[in-house]
Amino acid sequence: MADPEFEWGLVFDAHGNLDIQRSPFFDAGFDSDDDTVGAYLDRILPTLIIVIDKQRPDSEWIIDGRPPAPPHPASFPATSPLKITCLLVASLSLLTILLR
């Protein structure tokens, strides 16, 4: 069984948090020109994902906030067609009165 303070080259403190500075796992070791940051990230990311998943609480996140305000009456979609309809009816009524 692995030492609880030292697992996969990772060092954990007394609270179970990952100690990046003491962990040999995070030694970049760019000794040659063949080593790249991409290769380093490819090496550490899968293990980090496992560690983070172990330490993350199994609970749902809830966004607590207010619902959005209702739209302003001037921007209500039915307002514009209603105004156009009233304008057309008024114009046609005025036209029929003038043409009599």
Please check whether residue 33 lies inside any domain of the structure: yes
Span 13-39, average pLDDT: 75
Q: For 69, how many CA atoms within 13 A lie in the half-sphere containing its CB? A: 4
Determine, yes or no, domain membership for 13: yes
pLDDT of amino acid 1: 39
Residue entry with tokens 């980090």:
48
Q: Is residue 43 part of a domain?
A: yes
> Residue 96 domain-assigned?
no
How does pLDDT run across 37-82, given as a tens digit for each residue? 888 888 888 888 887 777 776 777 677 777 777 767 665 555 677 7
**91 within a domain of the structure (yes/no):** no
30 versus 81: the higher-pLDDT residue is 81
Q: What is the dihedral of CA 87, 93, 99, 100, to 10 degrees?
A: -170
In this predicted structure, the answer to whether residue 86 has a pLDDT above a threshold of 80 is: yes
Q: Which domain holds residue 49?
A: 6-55
Amino acid at 92: L
Number of domains in the chain: 1
Asked whether residue 95 carries a pLDDT value surpassing 60, the answer given is yes
pLDDT for residue 2: 46
